[in-house]
Chain A
């Protein structure tokens, strides 16, 4: 349905442009420069008007139309039969399959009637919407052509339209945030109506895999987030123990010691590392690093889980090195040369200057670099999905298997799911925690950097 509509819309928009430009040329006649705007702008002006009108009709009309079609189709059933969403979906699927001719088995009379109602309603709507759209488009063209005079400020009008389009485009980012918040908060609310937030935030046990149907008394799963937070933290700490020193020291070397030639070699190395998809790092962690650590551990007589937190943490640490180093590099470079000169003038060595003057001055920036890196590590999914475990152990032993928030979100939502169970909904509650945690970290880190920059501007 929408395909035809958009094709018609495209035709009318192009027609509006051509007609508008032509009319403007006719009005201009031989006297160049007598029109306020170029003929093309008159065409664009009318085309934009047509586009706006027809889009508006579609945006309003299409949902109404589909609602009408569905209600006509379901009208053939008893209201009690289609009271629940699940049944409604099933009935609609049957109707659509019957119309498409891929219905399995013998359709009931009721279904046949529903399909007939459905298809007649949809053809009515199809014609109705298309005709309405074309009429509106034609009317706008007619109206627009009448308006064309030498004085018409077609360019200004069209530019106003463009400006609104641009504004709408930059609104997409805001809409995305709103969409994230809405979808996560909405589903999490559902979850909290089934499981108390207190149990969620302070429970020490996480086992959502248990069936959670009302009739299965006594087998309620546990939704305590603490083991997940602990696991996430453990892996993040390991990652930061790797990325912190390595990233910071590379940044110091790059900013203070490296010649331009070395910089031009090392920078791409870090950029390559930053560009490696995490699924690749996850593969490396799971199939190379984890067995290696396990082998070493066993040769030392240690009991190492095959999906140890250490393996995931190490590789994740490597992943975030570029974040730490490039952000720290920037803030170290932002420290004014005059501070360094002051220190050198007193006879300090380079490393003393760095340790005593540059790093303290750059500290806020470095802290925020670390915060951004932590937020990356906490939100990272693929490495932990592939290399960390599923069992929610509350432990701080890096050789044991732990699980993380992101792993659980992925596990709960991938595969077949009933959308209303607490098990599925709990993933959104986890998502909520993850979203706001990383958002807070980022927000604070960006604020710190901003303050820091202003200090030296």
Chain B
């Protein structure tokens, strides 16, 4: 990781951003869906080895921005992204960049668990296989086991790796999706409301997992739940109507928000 670019960060920047190396840098990003202006002139720095949370009311653009980071928005024909997003100093909208390789470096976990309707093993093995990470079967098996262990799922499924991924419970499915994402050894993991379809116990397990994973990954999580943001993240960004209203250390945002809208939101005036 010695290629990491350390941009000098202003003193006004959040503490966490000063302590950790910079991973994702976005400048003047605008996103349009056809005529609709979904994100308006957004700039943010996201640090490595930390959890950053995007919060805000529905339709505020937080998911849209998340999907711009791994260019999932490319799959929507009417979507247009302008501005600059860099990961480790490399523009991800650069024409020479292979979007497939970009997505291999940025894992994603979706709102609803979406395991492939294949075996648990195949679910995790798919990514390493298409990227040619494993030279043989033993290699591949090792990757699968390690990923499942990191996702805290291995103990529960070790006897039934050949069962369908869809036969698992919702929380297990979501951890399988996390295992699938970390199997390709990404640098960043994007999570789009990963717990919104889960019960509180499963949610708690995922949150624990996120906390463990942040040692090795840059994690960005979109969440509806302010409590969740407060529990798992170090950096919090508040979105409102396509604007990034405020970014700060999670503790600061929840205790001393600078913006009126942020305050209204976290105190439950709207949402």
Using a CB–CB cutoff of 8 Å, the interface residues on chain A facing chain B are 28, 30, 32-33, 35-39, 153, 155-156
Contact = CB atoms under 8 A, between A and B. Distances in A.
Contact of B132 (A30, A35, A156): A35
B98 A32 contact: no
Given A32-B135, A38-B131, 7 more contacts: A32-B132, A32-B133, A32-B139, A33-B132, A35-B132, A155-B100, A156-B98
Size bracket, chain B contacts: 10 to 19
Nearest to A32: B135
A38 B132 contact: yes
Nearest to B135: A32
A39 B100 CA distance: 16
B147 to A, nearest CB: 15
B130 A36 contact: no
A39 B98 contact: no
A153 B98 contact: yes
A36 B131 contact: no
A28 B101 CA distance: 17
B157 interface: no
B98 A38 contact: no
Interface of B: 98, 100-101, 130-135, 139
A38 B135 contact: no
8 contacts: A30-B135, A32-B132, A32-B139, A33-B132, A35-B132, A36-B101, A38-B130, A156-B98
B133 A33 contact: yes
A441 B29 CA distance: 50
B133 A36 contact: no
A33 B98 contact: no
Nearest to B100: A155
Contacts of A156: 98
Contacts of A38: 130-132
Contacts of B131: 33, 38
A100 to B, nearest CB: 54
Nearest to A33: B133
User: Which residue of A33, A37, A155, A156 has the most chain B CB atoms within 10 A of its CB atom?
Assistant: A33
A35 B98 CA distance: 13
A33 B143 CA distance: 13
A30 B136 CA distance: 11
A364 B134 CA distance: 60
B101 to A, nearest CB: 8
A286 to B, nearest CB: 52
A28 B132 CA distance: 10
Contacts of A39: 132
B132 to A, nearest CB: 5
Contacts of A30: 135
A155 B133 CA distance: 16
Contacts of A28: 132
B130 A32 contact: no
- 5 nearest CB pairs, A to B: A38-B132, A32-B135, A33-B133, A32-B133, A33-B132
A189 B100 CA distance: 54
B4 to A, nearest CB: 20
A23 to B, nearest CB: 15
Nearest to A159: B100
Nearest to B130: A38
B178 to A, nearest CB: 21
A40 to B, nearest CB: 9
Contacts of B139: 32
Contacts of B98: 36, 153, 156
Contacts of A153: 98
B167 to A, nearest CB: 30
A22 to B, nearest CB: 15
B124 to A, nearest CB: 17
Contacts of B130: 38
A156 B130 CA distance: 13
Nearest to A30: B135
Contacts of B134: 32
A35 B134 CA distance: 12
A39 B130 CA distance: 10
A313 B135 CA distance: 70
Contacts of A37: 132
A37 B134 CA distance: 13
Contacts of B132: 28, 32-33, 35, 37-39
Contacts of B100: 155
A324 B133 CA distance: 57
Nearest to A41: B132
